[in-house]
Amino acid sequence: MIGPLVDQFPFAHSDGAADSTVTALGRVHYATQYDLGRLNVYDPATLERVWIVRESSHVSSRLLLYPVFDGDRSDDSIGIQTRAPIGVLRPSQRYVTTSGLVRARVLSDTVVDLLNDRWGYGVVESDARRIRITPPILERMHPVDRDVEEESADFIVCDGNHRIVERVWRRRLPTAAVAAIEAPAEPYYILPLPETAWSLVSDAEVGVAPARDQKYTVRGVELTLPGSPLWHVPASERYRRYFRSLETGFDDLGGQAGSD
C-alpha cells in the first residue's frame, strides 16, 4: 500500500546545496561486483527535462521526446508537439505485468500528479519504508547501438517502462521524464528494440514476469585478454557489468514493477 507523499525534491538546485533528481542521478554507478565497479554512470551536465509524447499516423505509432520550456506545467500534447522533437524513444523490455501497470496507474494518479516539480522526485511511506518515486529515466543510445546513418537521436528506457506504457502509450498522456542527452560512457545492458515495438510491448501483458530470455535481450560481452576481472564470470552473466544501480543514487525505489 502506497501512503501519502511525505517529501519532495526538485529536478535541480542551482546552488547544489540540497538533493535533487540531478544530484541523485549523479551518484548512480555501475554494479560494484563487476569490473566497472563504482564508476559513475551519468554526467549531471547531460541531464535534461523532457516530455514523452505518443505520435500516431495512419501507418504506425511511436514515442517522441520533446524539450521542456521554463514554466512548463501543462501536459497539453498539442502545444508540446509544436516544438522540434529531441529524438525517438525505443523500448528495452518486451513485456509488462498486470500488477506493474496497476502500480503505475496508482502512482501517476496519487503521487506523481501531486509533485510540485514533475521532473523532481518524491518520497512516500509504504509498509514502514520510505520509497522514492522518480520520473522515468532515459538515456541516449550508445554509439555501438546506433544506426550508421542516424536521422534523429534514439533514446532507450532505463527505468519507467510500466509508467510509459500505462500513461503515454495506452492513455496517450504526455509524461515528464529525465534524459541523459549524451550517451553514457558504457552501453546499456539490454539491447534496444525498434521504435515501432511499443505496441508489441503493451500487448505482451502477463500476470507473472517471464524468464529472462523472454523479458529482453542482454548484451553479449566478449573477453579478449585472459585474466580479465570478468574471466571467471559465466558468459551469460557478464552483461551485468553494464547494469545501472539506480538505488545507489536514490536509495529505496521499491523494487522493479515488472519483477512480480
Q: How many helices and strands, by DSSP H and E, does the chain display? A: 7, 13
Coil, strand, or helix at residue 98?
Answer: helix
- pLDDT digit string (tens) for 5-36? 888 999 998 776 679 999 999 999 999 888 88
Q: Is residue 260 part of a domain?
A: no
Q: Which three cell numbers stand for residue 239?
A: 552483461
Confidence of residue 149 (pLDDT cuts 50, 70, 90): low
Q: Which amino acid does the sequence have at 131?
A: I
- Residue 144's domain comprises 5-252
- pLDDT digit string (tens) for 229-254? 788 888 889 999 999 999 999 998 98
Q: Is residue 258 part of a domain?
A: no
- pLDDT digit string (tens) for 95-129? 999 999 999 999 888 888 888 899 999 999 877 88
> In this structure, are strands 153-159 and 87-90 parallel, antiparallel, or unpaired?
parallel
Residue 43 burial class via C-beta count within 10 angstroms: exposed 0-12, middle 13-18, buried 19 and up: middle
Q: Is residue 246 part of a domain?
A: yes
Average pLDDT, the chain: 88
Coil, strand, or helix at residue 200?
Answer: helix
Q: Is residue 172 part of a domain?
A: yes
Find, among 149, 156, 218, 159, the residue nearest to 181 by Cα. 156
67 has pLDDT over 60 = yes
**For the chain, what is the domain count?**
1
Prediction pTM value? 0.91
Supply angle C-alpha 161, 166, 169, rounded to 5: 90
Instruction: Tell me which residue has cell 514476469.
Output: 209
